[in-house]
Structure 1
């Protein structure tokens, strides 16, 4: 068993197939398939049920996947600590960001960071919250921007706290309201983000508390497209205040959402047991320095 084999297995699970995993780890599909087979032979148990074009973890596979994430993370920590001991000059910032809000929150930070640390390489990964958590657990990124609350085993530094706003077509019967809740919107179709976006979970949990079962008419990972769909009258959407204001135009109405426990709290998270390299610590310091006093 070696780390290359474990990485191949992890990516087959994460990417959902051998060919997709091969692209990520820069190996051929047959090499990835052989690596998984070798791992199964070493462990003496099948790890994947191959169902047509899909692969599902067996009970042994669940254990192997969980342990593989830990081993890969420990290897990264070992290399990072040794590099620090040697006084590594260049360094690498490995950070994972979600598609929602990362431009508004972090674009200026990247500019400042690059000007201060021109020799630090930046490896940016963009995924939804679920995949970012897995990347963090596996040590593939040192920091990830996640919505609070974060999972046990992660430490975090708050970045931004924003209330949600309802985004309605200008012609909606409730477009002139000063505040709105999910009970008011029970009969309106919802436009949500794609599966895996943490903002969806906030919205659905609040609907459940109110006894509202929303009818989802569309999903997208692009804020501009979601706002355009709202303006076209397809449904209503929900955005953090700063993003809603950035995308405001004549075809939509923005109304504060009067719902407790739906605020958008985003933080930079890292594994509590991890060794944070200097490049990551410098990013955390910069985030604290550039935080808005109104947050």
Structure 2
């Protein structure tokens, strides 16, 4: 079984067309067909069902594809790590992040890192906390920025960089808009605009509301920070958001107000896998992050 055969097999399985796969691979169609036949003969099973010019995987072909794709990812990862051992400052780092850290925190640290290591590349992937955790565990990404940071998880290791306030965002015409600070209980009769159930930022808000004796009335839900801000700006409700999401982008028709009772916060940092070592470029970035935020925290005190 040759690596070339496996690459041809994956391409044909993906496109379900031998000619299109050959064009994508920049080889002759006959070469692809011959290698697929050789692979089937070696395995002793039929991987594809031929339907005119198209093909589709047999049930055993689907099983084989699943395992081969995993194997190819490991081969690519091994090659990447070898390249990074030769030169850690020219690797590629796969980083996950939630939408709440996309506008300020992530660009700031990557820009600072690239100023020192301009040849390191990044692949960025956005998602919820649960998605990012699973992606780190599966090896689909190398590390992920998260908030809050899990501290008792066997499969990922969390590193907290800072603690940030969760603040209220109100329409500018709200009765409490002129207050310098509010108590969360004062919003008990308002409609809330929150992330959907299952998002950690929603849980932070609902837990805080329950702590002071009420269940928030959620009138709108959204997975996008800017959409939530827009709904508040339109006067359709109030919300609580991490302060970092409002640093550079607070809608004109809204006001940001601290919440003093209860004190609502979240930890922010990164998670890395517990089941494998970081590759050299990833270690370089991880150590940079720890030093960057240590210096930033000292400066902020």
Same fold? TM cut 0.5 = yes
Q: Deviation at 1:169?
A: 1.1
Distance verdict in 2 for CA 1:37–1:181, change over 3 Å: farther
Aligned position for 2:290:
288
Q: Secondary structure at the match of 1:284?
A: helix
Aligned position for 1:54:
none
Name the CA distance, whole Å, in 1 between partners of 2:80 and 2:232.
49
Q: Secondary structure at the match of 1:157?
A: strand
TM-score, structure 2 as length reference: 0.68
Distance verdict in 2 for CA 1:119–1:248, change over 3 Å: closer
Q: Deviation at 1:247?
A: 2.5
Aligned position for 2:43:
none
Aligned position for 2:92:
92
Aligned position for 2:82:
83
Aligned position for 1:121:
121
Distance verdict in 2 for CA 1:155–1:121, change over 3 Å: same
Q: Is residue 212–residue 262 contact of structure 2 (8 Å, CA) maintained in 1?
A: no
Q: Deviation at 1:157?
A: 2.3
Aligned position for 2:7:
none
- Superposed CA deviations along residues 160-186 of structure 1, whole A, max 9, x for unmatched, are 321111111122122233332332211
**Runs (4+) off by over 4 Å:** 28-33, 74-78
2:280 corresponds to 1:270? no
Aligned position for 1:203:
205
Aligned position for 2:63:
38
Name the CA distance, whole Å, in 1 between partners of 2:115 and 2:84.
25
Q: Deviation at 1:106?
A: 1.8
Name the CA distance, whole Å, in 2 between partners of 1:85 and 1:104.
28
TM-score, structure 1 as length reference: 0.69
Aligned position for 1:145:
145
Aligned position for 1:27:
14
Q: Secondary structure at the match of 1:239?
A: strand
Counterpart of 1:217 (choices 216, 219, 226) is 219
Q: Is residue 109–residue 286 contact of structure 1 (8 Å, CA) maintained in 2?
A: no
Q: Is residue 85–residue 280 contact of structure 2 (8 Å, CA) maintained in 1?
A: no
Name the CA distance, whole Å, in 2 between partners of 1:234 and 1:227.
10
Q: Which runs of 5+ in 2 are unaligned?
A: 1-9, 17-54
Name the CA distance, whole Å, in 2 between partners of 1:261 and 1:35.
56
Distance verdict in 2 for CA 1:84–1:217, change over 3 Å: same
Counterpart of 1:164 (choices 160, 163, 166) is 166
How well do the aligned residues superpose, as a CA RMSD in angstroms?
A: 3.4
Q: Which runs of 5+ in 1 are unaligned?
A: 1-21, 40-67
Query: How many aligned positions are there?
Result: 241
Distance verdict in 2 for CA 1:263–1:85, change over 3 Å: closer
